[in-house]
Amino acid sequence: MSKMVKELIVKDFQRRLDGVSDALLVDVIGVDANSSVELRRILREKDIQILVLRNALAKRAIEGTTLEPALDEAKGTLAFCWGSEDFVSLAKEVTAIVDGGKYKGFEARGGVLDGERLTAEKIKEISKWPNREEQLSLLLGQILGPGAELSAALLGPGGTLASQIKEKAGDEDAS
């Protein structure tokens, strides 16, 4: 490959990763062509992008970015995976595909989160964290819980008093 072609590939990769701060590295060696097409379709439906690039070219493309630590100890052919609604969702999707075992040869090898290099074990651990949607629902529950208790505390005695008044009013009508 000529130097000019390599430079064009590096620039294209830089353009694609513009704004990406977190990504996973996955191994796709051993995935046959038909399975690869199916896997890419599944990932695309979940708004996850995957790009295979030689490590030397990838290192040049991500030099000086938050993604740089991802390739510090990388060996062999790897693909960058990024996208989804948040990093935890990305890790959950990739881990689910790996654990499914349908795509032999597809495995998470590492990644980078907030400029910190991740191992495959750490990715598996992150996949068990609550994603953004789950965190928002937990937060909403924590915010609404005390309000519901306060409302019940304020309305409870008033409701009791109102029922007693209604009962007494009913007793007087009967006599």
Q: How far apart are CA 81 and CA 93, in angstroms?
A: 11
Mean of pLDDT values over 23-49: 90
Q: How far apart are CA 165 and CA 42, in angstroms?
A: 64
From residue 41, how far is each of 16, 92, 143 by CA, in Å?
A: 18, 17, 39
Q: How far apart are CA 53 and CA 76, in angstroms?
A: 11
Query: Coil, strand or helix: which one is 35?
Result: helix
Domain 3-129 CATH superfamily = Ribosomal protein L10, N-terminal RNA-binding domain (3.30.70.1730)
- Percent of the chain's residues with pLDDT above 90: 30
- Residue 82 main-chain phi, psi, to 5 deg: -150, 165
**Mean pLDDT, all residues of the chain:** 87
Please tell me the pTM assigned to this model.
Answer: 0.73
pLDDT of 29: 85
pLDDT digits (tens, 9 = 90+) for 89-114: 999 999 999 998 888 888 999 899 98
Q: Where are the domains of the chain?
A: 3-129
